[in-house]
Structure 1
Amino acid sequence: MSDETDFDLFSGKKSKAKHDKADAAKVTAQTRDVTPATSQIIQSRPTDEEFYRNTNPYVGVAVVFNHKYVKGQKDRVGTEKDRDTIAETLSLYGFDVRVFNDLTFEKVDAQLKAIAKEDHSENDCFVLVVMSHGAEGRIFASDMSYPVERLWQPFLGDNCKSLINKPKIFFLQACRGERLDKPVVFSEFSVMTRQIGGPSQTEEIPPVITYAIPNTADMLVMYSTFEKYYSFRNVENGSWFIQSLCDVFIAAARKPEAYDKGSDLLRLLTAVNRKVAYEYQSLAKVDVLNQMKEMPNFLSTLTKTFYLRVKSHPGK
C-alpha cells in the first residue's frame, strides 16, 4: 500500500499508515483588498498586560470548513476522520462547534461574514479550521480557489468589534505548493529535562483605558506545512497535522489545570510542530516521495499570552 499526492507525477507511503495524499492544486491569480487609511486622530499608549483575558463565560465559537469534493481535483479521502476528530476535540473545550461540508466560496464567504457579525463579547477567542486542497497563497472551496486572507478578513478589528483584543485562531490543512520536505538527521547526547511551569497570577480588572492597536492584531494562523510545500493526508487515519493537533489538545484538556489556568496556546502549537516533525515520514514506492517530511508552522500577531481553558458549552 502506498501514499499518494494530488499530482499525477507522484505516488508513495507513510511509515505509520496507508494511502497518504497531499492537498495540492494549481495556482491561479491572486487578488488583494485595499483598505483606505483612516483620518481619525488616535493616540497610542503602552500596556503592561501580559495575558489575554480567559475568564469570559464561554471559550468561543469554532467553525470547521471541511472539503472532500473540490471541482477539478481528486476527492480528499480521509478528511471525514479529520472533521470528526477536530470537532470532538474542540467540543471537549466547550467550543460552540459548527461544521460545514463542501461549501462553495460564496457560501464560505457568507458564513464567515455572518459569524463575524455575531456578538462574541462573552467569548475568550475564535477558532476557524479549514481542510481542503490548496496552492501557494490560496485555498479551495468546493467550486474555486481563493486567497487565504479571505478567511480572516471578516474578523479584523474594524470588521468584528466584539473580537478586538481577543485571539482569533486559524488552522489550515492544505498544501501550499509542490515541494516535498526532505529529512535531515542529527545526533545528540541525552540530557536531563525539567518541567517549566507557566506564570501564575490573580487577574485584576483594570480601569477603562482606550488603546490603539493594529487592525491585524491578535491573530494566529497555523499552516499544516511550510510555504511552497505539500501537506500529507492519510485516507484512513486523517492528516498528519490535524490528527497531531487533536492529540496535543486532548492531552492538555485532560490535565487538572485545563479547567483552572488552562494551557499556553503557543506551547501547545509548538508541541504540534514537534510531533509532526519528529514522528511522521512517508515510505513511498517512488524515490522522489520516499521518506518525506512535513513541517507545520504558524504566523502570530498575538500581543499577549493566551491560556486556553476547558469550559462549559453555551446553553449547558
Structure 2
Amino acid sequence: MDEGDSMQFRRQLLQVAEGLGKEDVEGLKFLCKDLIPFSKLQAMPTAREVFQFLISNDVVNQEDVFVIAELLYRIRRNYLLPRIGYTKQMVQENLHLKGIVSEFRQMLYELSEELTENDLRSAEFLLRGHLPKRQSTVMSGVELLTILERKDLLSEDDLSLLEKVCKQISPDLLRKINTYKLKRVSLSVQESKETEPSSVRKSSLEGSSLSAGNQEESVEYPTKSLDSGSSLRELIGHVQSFGSNQDVKAGNVVGSSEQTFPVRKQDGESKMAAEQYEMDVPCKGHCLIFNNVNFEGHLAERKGSQKDVEELEKVFRWLGLEVVTYNDQTSVEIHQQLQKWQTSDHWKDSNCFVCCILSHGRSGEIYGTDAQLIPIRTIMSYFTANVCPLLARKPKLFFIQACQGEKTQRPVYLERDSDERDLLSADAQSAGPPSQAQPSIPEEADFLLGMATVDGYLSFRHTREGTWYIQALCANLQLLVPRGEDILSILTEVNKEVSYRADPQGMQKQMPQPAFTLRRKLVFPVPKEPPPSPRQ
C-alpha cells in the first residue's frame, strides 16, 4: 500500500471517528461484539481503537471498508458514509452479500434504542438481583444488554429473561423480539428446504407435518405470546418482506388465504379492521406536491429540493397514489390549484388525500414564490368535510417542509455532520419577526399535519441530498409500511431519526412535530412491488 494512500485512508477513518459521539461509539462497539472480544472492546474508549482493531485483523482495509459502512448504517449515521466512499443506497444494495452484523445483534441494538429512560429504570429494578452489586445505575440500554450477555443470561438461543422483562415494561418491545424469532424460524424453514432432497420436501408438504396443529406447535412461542390480531399482522407482514422466491410465503398484512403461519380467527381481528381507515381501492388517492425553489425578493433559492420531490414521487406512487407535482407556484397559484382539487370528483373513489409542501416559511405559514405568505390552516381548510364532502371521513395528510421561525434548537451533545458547511441551508425567511399564527389543524376530524420542525424554529436542507425531514419520511415509509406500521408509528420513527441529525459544527438540531385529528389508524396496504429505494 502506498504511504500516501495509507495516510488518506486513515484520515478518512479519523474523520468518521471524530464525527461520532459517545452514544454512537457505544452502539458501534455493541454491534462489534461478534467481531471483537469483549475484553478488548472494554479497553476501546473511542471509535479509533475499534477501527484500528478491524484494520489489524484485516476485517477492514483500504480496498474494502464495507464493515465500517455497515456499522454506520446500523447506528443511523448515514451522513458519514460519503467520507468513506459510500451512500446509504450502496450499503443497502450490498448488505445481503457482505453484511456481517447478525440478525440477533441487530435486534438487540434496535431494542436498546427503543428503551426509554423509564423503561430502563423499570428493567433495572426488575433485574436488580442479576446486576453487579457494585453498579448503582445502568447508564443505557446497550449497557444493560451487555451485562446480561456477560452473565450468560441472554443469548441467541435463550431470550427468556429478556422476554419476561419486556413483557412487564412494554408490549412493543416484546413484539420486536417476537418478530425476530419468527423471522429466524422462517429462515430456518427456508434453509432446511434448500438442503433437503426434493423427495423429502414433497413428502413433508403432503404429510401431516404441515397440519394446522403441527404448524402452531412449530412456532408455539410467537403464537402464544401475541395478545392481538394487530401483532399477528405485524409479524406476517415482516415475513412477507423476505421475498416471493421462498417456498413458504406470507399473506398480505390485511388478510390473505396464503400465510406462513396459521392465524386464528379472533374477535380482535374484526375489531382491528373496524379501527382502521379503509384503504381497499387500487388507486388509494392523490398526492399533491408543491415544490417552491426560486423566489422573488430576498428569499434564497432552495437548492436540493428536487431530491425531495423525486423521493416523494417514488414513494407515494409505490403506495398506490396518483402523484401530481407543481413547481414554483406563487401564493395565488397555490390557492387556485387547491380550489381546483377541492371540487374534484377524484375523491369519490379515493381512500385518502396527501399534500406535500416544500418551501420557505415562518410560524404557521409558508411562502409562495412571490414571497407572499399563506397560513397552513388556510391550506388545510380547503379539504374540510363541509367544503369537500367527498373527502369526509377519509384521512387527509399534509407534510410541510418549511422553517417555522428563525430560532435554533440546541443539541444535548455535539456531533459532526459534514465538512461541507456551505451545503446546509435553512428553509427560513432571511429577515423579519415571526408572525403570531400558530401551526394548527382544523377542528374537523381525519386530518394529519406533519411539520418538519416545531413552531418558531429552523429546518434544514442539504443542497444535494435534500431535507432531513422529507428524506427521513420517505425512508421510513419504505421501511415500515411493509411491516404493517400505522402512519403515527412511522412519524415517531421519523422524529427519532431527524433528532439524531446535526449541522457540521454539531450546534444546530431539528425536531419534527406531527399533529392530528385522526379517528382511526391509518395503515397503508403493503404494495406488491418492492420499495423503490428500500432501507434494510
Give the structure-2-normalised TM-score: 0.41
Alignment of 1:59-74 (within 5 A): 59-72=284-297, 73-74=299-300
2:449 counterpart of 1:221: yes
CA shift at 1:237, angstroms?
0.3
2:133 counterpart of 1:133: no
CA shift at 1:106, angstroms?
1.3
Identity of aligned residues (%): 32
Contact preservation (8 Å) 1:222, 1:298: yes
The aligned counterpart of 2:309 is 83
The aligned counterpart of 2:511 is 295
Residue among 272, 279, 282 paired with 2:503 = 282
| SS at 1:263 equivalent | coil
| SS at 2:412 equivalent | coil
For residues 149-195 of structure 1, the C-alpha deviation after alignment (integer angstroms, 9 at most, x for no partner) is 1211110011111111111000000000011011125xxxxxxxxxx
2 CA distance for matches of 1:311 and 1:156? 28
Which sections of structure 2, spanning at least 5 residues, go unmatched? 1-77, 83-270, 414-441, 530-536
Contact preservation (8 Å) 1:78, 1:236: yes
Residue among 278, 294, 299 paired with 1:53 = 278
- 97 and 51 in structure 1: CA distance in 2 versus 1, 3 angstrom threshold: same
2 CA distance for matches of 1:310 and 1:121? 23
Contact preservation (8 Å) 1:94, 1:310: no
For residues 118-143 of structure 1, the C-alpha deviation after alignment (integer angstroms, 9 at most, x for no partner) is 12122111000000000112101111
2 CA distance for matches of 1:17 and 1:139? 33
Instruction: Report the number of matched residues.
Output: 233
Contact preservation (8 Å) 1:264, 1:306: yes
For residues 243-277 of structure 1, the C-alpha deviation after alignment (integer angstroms, 9 at most, x for no partner) is 00011112235x3x6xxxx4311111111111111
| SS at 1:155 equivalent | coil
2:378 counterpart of 1:156: no
CA shift at 1:310, angstroms?
4.5
The aligned counterpart of 2:30 is none
The aligned counterpart of 1:196 is none
1 CA distance for matches of 2:387 and 2:528? 28
1 CA distance for matches of 2:390 and 2:509? 39
The aligned counterpart of 2:430 is none
2:363 counterpart of 1:142: no
1 CA distance for matches of 2:305 and 2:392? 32
Task: Give me the CA root mean square deviation.
Answer: 2.5
| SS at 1:306 equivalent | coil
Contact preservation (8 Å) 1:17, 1:234: no
Amino acid at match of 2:451: Y
CA shift at 1:226, angstroms?
0.8
The aligned counterpart of 2:127 is none
The aligned counterpart of 1:123 is 350
2 CA distance for matches of 1:312 and 1:15? 30
CA shift at 1:15, angstroms?
6.1
2 CA distance for matches of 1:268 and 1:276? 12
The aligned counterpart of 2:38 is none
Contact preservation (8 Å) 1:52, 1:304: yes
2 CA distance for matches of 1:125 and 1:312? 19
Contact preservation (8 Å) 1:157, 1:215: no
From the two aligned structures, give the one with the greater strand fraction: 1
For residues 91-137 of structure 1, the C-alpha deviation after alignment (integer angstroms, 9 at most, x for no partner) is 11121000000011111111111112112122111000000000112
2:268 counterpart of 1:268: no
CA shift at 1:58, angstroms?
2.2
- 129 and 16 in structure 1: CA distance in 2 versus 1, 3 angstrom threshold: farther
Give the structure-1-normalised TM-score: 0.69
CA shift at 1:219, angstroms?
0.2
2:460 counterpart of 1:232: yes
| SS at 2:284 equivalent | strand
The aligned counterpart of 2:524 is 308
The aligned counterpart of 1:210 is none
Q: Which has the larger radius of gyration?
A: 2
2 CA distance for matches of 1:16 and 1:276? 15
For residues 292-315 of structure 1, the C-alpha deviation after alignment (integer angstroms, 9 at most, x for no partner) is 1100011100011111124589xx
Contact preservation (8 Å) 1:70, 1:142: yes
